[in-house]
A and B are shown apart, each in its own frame.
Chain A
Amino acid sequence: MAIGIKPSALRQTRWHEYLIRFALGGLATVFAGAMAKMFGPETGGLFLAFPAIFSASATLVEKHERQRKEKAGLRGTRRGKEAAALDAAGAALGSFGLLAFGAAVWLLAAYSAGLSLLVGSVAWVVVSVCLWSIRRWIGA
């Protein structure tokens, strides 16, 4: 399947689900800052890759896929879990992109804040998408 955008998927998500993700994201950022303040940047930095909203996202993916299948008159429990597994497989690849982001900030922070965050973001996209494409290409 080629990469595509499905705007109708946004209608599947209820407003309270957006609110939960916003709150969890906000709390994760506060938590990461608090950890850095308490234990220093070496420990605090670990929490920049903490899977804070992964539970909420994976549960939503599972729920939406299950509902979609049940609407079509099929048993969706298994498909829901498979969708969550695929989501996690994507995140495993994306974590290498996150590693590249961290490396860019580590190496470029001394030169410019904006540049290091920009290069880090581009590195995240490039590494993540390349790894995903390679995985599709080899059929893993």
Chain B
Amino acid sequence: MTEYVIRFFVGGFAVSMFAVLGDLFRPKSFAGLFGAAPSVALATLAMAFWNQGPTYAAIEGRSMMIGSLALCLYSIAVCQLTKRYETGALTATLASLILWTAAALGGKWLLLG
């Protein structure tokens, strides 16, 4: 339980810091880079190194690469939905989660088995 509490606060802090940076920078497309910041990854991997060791963290890092490609598809989908079809940001981001999940799990199945 203590581990999850620590995770919550470390992750919340890391995500907030990157989000503030995203708020600060202009233009908006540059600020958007912070939407793909390694905030959750930094907090999680630091704890993985500490608790489970380097092999475990390396495996997570490898899978994260597949997750990143899924994030790219997700972001493109959100961009197209909001720009071309004028969908609201909330609807577009929530609907595209289906694409992220399919791409991430499908990519893992294809590349790692």
Cβ 8 A contact of A41, one of B8, B47, B48: B48
Contact indicator B59/A42 (Cβ below 8 Å): yes
Contact indicator B44/A33 (Cβ below 8 Å): yes
Chain B min CB distance to A42 (Å): 5
Contact indicator B33/A132 (Cβ below 8 Å): yes
What secondary structure prevails in chain B residues at the interface with A?
Answer: helix
Residue on A nearest B108 in the bound complex, by CB? A46
Residue on A nearest B43 in the bound complex, by CB? A29
- Bound-state Cα–Cα, A58 to B87, Å: 12
> Which residues of chain A have C-beta atoms less than 8 A from B47's C-beta?
33
Contact indicator A26/B92 (Cβ below 8 Å): no
Using A58-B92, A59-B90 as known contacts, say yes or no to A41 and B59 having CB atoms under 8 A apart: yes
Contact indicator B39/A25 (Cβ below 8 Å): yes
Of residues 64 through 100 on chain B, the ones whose CB sits less than 8 Å from some CB of chain A are 64-72, 74-76, 78-80, 82-83, 86-90, 92-94, 96-97, 100
> Which residues of chain A have C-beta atoms less than 8 A from B24's C-beta?
5-7, 9-10
> Which residues of chain B have C-beta atoms less than 8 A from A9's C-beta?
23-24, 26
Number of interface residues of B (CB under 8 A): 86
Contact indicator B11/A78 (Cβ below 8 Å): no
Contact indicator B79/A88 (Cβ below 8 Å): yes
Cβ 8 A contact of B12, one of A26, A34, A85, A87: A26
Q: Judge whether B29 is part of the interface by a CB distance below 8 angstroms.
A: yes
Contact indicator B90/A87 (Cβ below 8 Å): no
What secondary structure prevails in chain A residues at the interface with B?
Answer: helix
- Bound-state Cα–Cα, A97 to B41, Å: 12
Contact indicator A43/B108 (Cβ below 8 Å): yes
Of B13, B33, B55, which is in contact with the most chain A CB atoms at under 10 Å from its CB? B33
Contact indicator A104/B61 (Cβ below 8 Å): yes
Contact indicator B11/A91 (Cβ below 8 Å): no
Using A33-B3, A109-B58, A110-B58 as known contacts, say yes or no to A25 and B63 having CB atoms under 8 A apart: no
Contact indicator A98/B71 (Cβ below 8 Å): yes
Q: Judge whether A30 is part of the interface by a CB distance below 8 angstroms.
A: yes
Contact indicator B35/A46 (Cβ below 8 Å): no
Residue on A nearest B63 in the bound complex, by CB? A45
- Bound-state Cα–Cα, A55 to B38, Å: 17
| Chain A residues packing against B (C-beta within 8 Å) | 1, 3-7, 9-10, 12-13, 18, 21-30, 32-34, 36, 40-55, 57-59, 61-62, 78, 80-99, 101-107, 109-110, 113, 116-117, 120-121, 124, 128-129, 132, 135
